Chains A and B, each alone.
Chain A
Amino acid sequence: MQWETVIGLEVHVQLATRSKIFSGASTAFGAEPNTQACAVDLGLPGVLPVLNEQAVAMAVQFGLAVHADIAEVSVFDRKNYFYPDLPKGYQTSQMYHPIVGPGEVEITLEDGSTKHIRIHHAHLEEDAGKSLHEDFHGMTGIDLNRAGTPLLEIVSEPDMRSAKEAAAYLKAIHSIVTYLGISDGNMAEGSMRCDVNVSVRPKGQEAFGTRAEIKNVNSFRFVERAIAFEVERQIELIEDGGSVVQETRLFDPDRDETRSMRTKEEANDYRYFPCPDLLPVVLDQAYLDHLRSQLPELPADKRERFQNELGLSAYDANVISASRDMAEFFEAVHSECGDAKQAANWVQGELSGALNRESLSIANSPISARQLGELISRVLDDTINGKAAKEVFQALWNGQGESADEVIEAKGLKQVTDTGAIEAMIDQVIADSPAQVAQYRDSEPEKRGKMIGYFVGQVMKASRGTANPQQVNGLLKEKLDALL
């Protein structure tokens, strides 16, 4: 039987507000346990929440970016359950009237094709603290620094049909929230967390199969792996005559498997009701218009512009537009050198390689967009050849010089294009290589093309890499062929 996979994602995005969603405590990551939890975060008696307006603005920005309906009135509800890292015994969330209504996100697949994934809604809520189970001698430690950190939970429709689509969707969300600057998108620090709803159905069947919700899927790679495992598990189960039960499962990245956490019957009754301590959030058109006017160009628009106006391939446009930092770096390089294709090649090639090797983000690149653009310009105007360009790049990366020109000057990498000088070097090489010349002469004409490489190498060596290789090639061929 042919099976079809159906996937929906719930993505929790930690919003980059300075303070928590309902208190003035800092949201900075990595502080000593419980040093960033005030009376409100601790749920002490008598304290009250006050909504952080920055969190509201960020949620609205996201909604606008995914072309969603923004609720004129949204309401916070309490989700009641007991857990030690949930200080108040309820999580303040938005169950019935979320701030962001239906919208959609465009994803790009590896073959360059695009697909629209619908957003069901996105709502604001507070994060819980953390339970620490190690090093407490049979007890559990509670760190409430994270309690009250604002989250935007983005819930998709079950529109994805493969693990790849799910990963592409997660990347698209990542790219939108980082473009907007509403989250640092750091998955390793938990700034983006993902629950995956997976089901399978026979191909052609309209009704959805029973779904399992997989928790703790916290990297792009894990999303693909968790789905792959879960799909296989469900298909096997059904083909063996069993059936999928609705349940929550936990992804274990170490074992590469999902395990049952609780079934539907064991699920909590969260007793949602409107939080009486918070007023409904009422947004007017002027506020939305103001935020809309502040929106940056978004990844999908950039991708389209890079492709249509700058002539980049679909692949290049997609990769470069995925990160705002990379896109902006690319644009700065492009505006310096004027050649989009070259700019894209350098940013994705030499620069990305170097950044990856040293685990640096493009925002912390030791070489600036201006420097790289200049370097490319020097290649384009034949001041240096490709080999020298790599040397210049390395020198700039290492901080040996302020600009490409300075490095070229200091290292004497300026390309020799003077025909006389090159001819003199060629003559010398020919004179020094009688055996190779004889071999060249005695070879079949179609093999000579390959043999010329040796002479080019020698000339380049003699010029310490500064000769223009195309020129060397042409002149060598002329001179060698004259000897036939």
Chain B
Amino acid sequence: MHEKTLTQLAAALKSGEFSSRELTAHFLQRIDKADGKLNSFISVTAEQALRQAEVADNARAAGKTGPLAGIPLALKDIFCTQGLKTSCGSKMLDNFIAPYNATVVEKLNAAGTISLGKTNMDEFAMGSSNESSYYGPVKNPWDLTAVPGGSSGGSAAAVAAGLVPAAMGTDTGGSIRQPAAFCGITGLKPTYGRVSRFGIIAYASSLDQAGPLARSAEDCAHLLGVIAGHDGRDSTSVARGVPDYVEGLNAPLSGLKIGLPKEYFGDGLDPEVEKAVREAVKVYESLGATVREVSLPHTHYAIPAYYVIAPAEASSNLSRYDGVRFGHRCDNPSDLIDLYKRSREEGFGEEVKRRILIGTHTLSEGFFDAYYTKAQQVRRLIRQDFLDAFEDVDVLMGPASPTPAFDLGAKKDPVSMYLQDIYTIAVNLAGIPGISVPAGFVGGRPVGLQILGTHFAEAQLLNVAHQFQQATDWHLQRPAFAEEYA
């Protein structure tokens, strides 16, 4: 069962090949057996999952089900789930039980999907390796000495290992696309505003966006159709119709104009990764696409601009974790300042503290214009780069990450970690959608091809990704781990 894609599972449930309860139990068993090695889940909600599966089976028997009813999924532990722990990978929220569901969770529940549990992640989604989690690092199922990427590393690893057919993640600077690339799966970051942020614990509000991690573009298309749409509870969600993302998957690509940003093929890119990406582009040429080089001249400003804007927003967003109303509170505070200082000192990890400090500094009087205002100007230029490029080409392609998954513990200094996101981060600053699809291996570790489109071009991205997956079988490769341990 775990080898099937979401689409195949839906067909099997429909034909009665197996029940949702059987399917759910199967995945729960796999998690039970394998996750001790992977550490991809923070909490597994087996009882609730089996209950939901029973409801789905009953609904199916009564003829009242949508296409995804009964399919087990997992949620990054950043999505608030009513009555269940939502930790955001932090000791600060180890005791937090949300009294509401995120809109994404509500929509998935309404579609009849089953939640197996909450997946591991970098603390407050701050990280590119999943090593900053309070619950310990996640291992990459392709190589247990490698990181799965981050911050949605638990979701990516669990899908790659066949512990769940698909999972939800969030992407602030590459947190869906980079772990998808590292784990050899497909991950989509939608346009900013396409999916409601309500109930998603905020890291950097102007950049955060939720999306699916799955085994294929087609699976992502099914899931995006469920979670996308305007939400009255999120002012930044866009009131715009949700197209049928599955319908257009098979449109031919003849005449598709692909741009290769020259800045994405420069220094720092692993030559083997470059080779894999260029091979993938050749596949597109064989499908009738034309390819040209384009330029995104402000690319090298993206990381500095991001590391001003995201920490600035984070420093403010994380102020609510003060030990007063919920979350970690230090023992026996002597006074208010002691309560604040020790609760935050004890509750937050190192990377989170680093970003809070950076953000607090850049917003300070006397520094605000030099950092924040300047970074916002750069952000507009970066966005304009993309809009200019999309005047000439339909989609942009390049590597999702400069290297394949690196070893656990390899990136000791924060800046080398930040540089991991060089190809993904500008996309969040511009608000455009991006998808990462498996495109080969380097040293036994997967390589991701990143495809970018203009605002709200998700249907086109999914079509382009799907056609690649019709022509190649990279996305069908499974790590040996999936059979050895589970």
Q: Is B316 a contact of A89 with CB atoms below 8 Å?
A: yes
Residues of chain B within 8 A (CB-CB) of A44 are 98-100, 320, 325-326
| Residue A73 CB within 8 A of the other chain | no
**List of B residues within 8 angstroms of A276 by Cβ:** 204-206, 236, 313
Complex Cα spacing A342 to B42, Å: 80
In the complex, identify which listed stretch (A48-56, A319-327, A371-379, A399-407) lies at the interface while the others stay far away: A48-56
- Say yes or no: A39 contacts B201, CB within 8 Å: no
Q: Scoring B residues 245 to 268 as 1 if CB is less than 8 Å from chain A, else 0, what string do you get?
A: 000000000000000000000000
Question: Smallest Cβ distance from A288 to chain B, in angstroms?
Answer: 22
Q: Which of B274-282, B359-367, B410-418 contacts A (4 or more CB under 8 A)?
A: B359-367
Among A48, A49, A140, A273, contact of B363 (Cβ-Cβ < 8 Å): A273
CB contacts (< 8 Å) of B365 on chain A: these are: 269, 271
The answer to whether residues A43 and B325 also contact, given A271-B316, A273-B372, A276-B205 and a CB cut-off of 8 A, is yes
Interface status of B470 (Cβ within 8 A of chain A): no
Pick from B7-15, B192-200, B212-220 the stretch touching chain A.
B192-200
Which residues on A sit within 8 Å (CB–CB) of B234? 48, 50
Interface status of B462 (Cβ within 8 A of chain A): no
CB of B235 within 8 A of CB of A46, answer no
- B159-172: contact bitstring with A at CB < 8 Å (1 yes, 0 no)? 00000000000000
Contact B324 A142 (CB under 8 A): yes
Asked whether A277 is an interface residue with its Cβ less than 8 Å from the other chain, the reply is: yes
Given the complex of chains A and B, what is the CA–CA distance between A279 and B235 in angstroms? 7
- The reply to whether the CB of A97 lies closer than 8 angstroms to some CB of chain B is no
Chain B 70-118 residues near chain A, CB threshold 8 A: 79-80, 86, 88, 93, 96, 98-100, 102
* A469 interfacial contact with B, CB 8 Å: no
Q: Taking each of B198, B202, B204, B320, which has the highest tally of chain A beta carbons within 10 Å of its own beta carbon?
A: B320
Main secondary structure of the interface of A (DSSP, over half): loop
Number of A-B pairs whose CB atoms are under 8 Å?
102
- Given the known inter-chain contacts A80-B363, A277-B236, please indicate yes or no for A48 contacting B88, CB distance below 8 A: no
User: Size of chain A's interface in residues, with CB distance under 8 A?
Assistant: 29
Cβ-defined contact, B86 with A45, below 8 A: yes
Is B300 an interface position by the 8 A CB rule? no
Bound-state Cα–Cα, A276 to B325, Å: 23
Contacts of B88 in A (CB 8 A): 45
Q: Determine if A88 is an interface residue (Cβ-Cβ < 8 Å).
A: yes
Query: With a CB–CB cut-off of 8 A, which chain A residues contact B235?
Result: 48-51, 277-279
Contact A45 to B80, CB < 8 A, known contacts A50-B232, A277-B236: yes
Closest CB-CB distance, A272 to chain B, in whole Å?
8
A30-53: CB near B (< 8 Å → 1, else 0) gives 000000000100111111111100
* Contact yes or no, B320 A45, CB < 8 A: yes
A346 contacts the other chain (CB 8 A): no
- CB contacts (< 8 Å) of B98 on chain A: these are 44-46
CA of A142 to CA of B336, assembled, Å = 13
Who on chain A is nearest to B320 by CB?
A43
0/1 string, A138-164, CB within 8 A of B gives 1 = 001010000000000000000000000
- CB < 8 Å neighbour of A46 from B102, B206, B236, B312: B102
List of B residues within 8 angstroms of A51 by Cβ = 235
Contact B325 A277, beta carbon cutoff 8 Å: no
Q: Are A39 and B197 in contact (CB under 8 A)?
A: no
Q: In the docked arrangement, what's the CA distance between A90 and B315, Å?
A: 11
Given contacts A46-B198, A47-B198, contact A269 B364 (CB under 8 A): yes
Is A87's beta carbon under 8 Å from chain B? yes
Q: What separation, in Å, do the CA atoms of A273 and B315 have in the docked complex?
A: 11
| Residues of A contacting B372 in the complex (Cβ-Cβ under 8 angstroms) | 273
Q: Is residue B332 within 8 Å, beta carbon to beta carbon, of the partner chain?
A: no
Pairwise interchain contact A46-B199, C-beta atoms closer than 8 A: yes
Q: Are A273 and B312 in contact (CB under 8 A)?
A: yes
Q: 8 Å CB contacts to B: which residues of A71-96?
A: 78, 80, 82, 84, 87-90
Q: Tell me the complex Cα distance, A273–B206, Å.
A: 12
B236 touches A82 (CB 8 A): no
Q: CB distance A82 to B316 under 8 Å?
A: no
Assess the B363–A271 pair: CB atoms within 8 A: yes
Tell me, rounded to whole Å, the shortest Cβ–Cβ distance linking A317 to chain B: 46
In the complex with contacts A45-B93, A269-B364, A273-B372, A80-B316 CB distance below 8 A: yes
Q: Whole-angstrom distance between the alpha carbons of A44 and B202 in the complex? A: 11
Q: Given A51-B235, A84-B336, A277-B236, are A45 and B364 also a contact pair (CB < 8 Å)?
A: no
Cross-chain pairs A/B with CB under 8 angstroms, 22 sampled: A44-B326, A45-B88, A45-B93, A45-B96, A45-B98, A46-B199, A47-B199, A48-B233, A80-B316, A82-B319, A82-B340, A88-B320, A89-B316, A89-B320, A90-B319, A271-B363, A271-B365, A272-B363, A276-B205, A276-B313, A277-B202, A277-B236
Pairs A-B, 5 closest by C-beta atoms:
A89-B319, A271-B363, A276-B206, A276-B205, A43-B320
- B contacts, CB < 8 Å to A: 79-80, 86, 88, 93, 96, 98-100, 102, 197-202, 204-206, 232-236, 312-313, 315-316, 318-320, 322, 324-326, 336, 340, 360, 363-365, 368, 372
Extra A-B contacts (20), CB below 8 Å, given A43-B325, A45-B326, A271-B316:
A45-B86, A45-B201, A46-B86, A46-B98, A47-B100, A47-B199, A48-B233, A48-B234, A50-B234, A51-B235, A82-B322, A82-B340, A84-B324, A87-B324, A269-B364, A271-B363, A271-B364, A271-B365, A273-B316, A276-B236
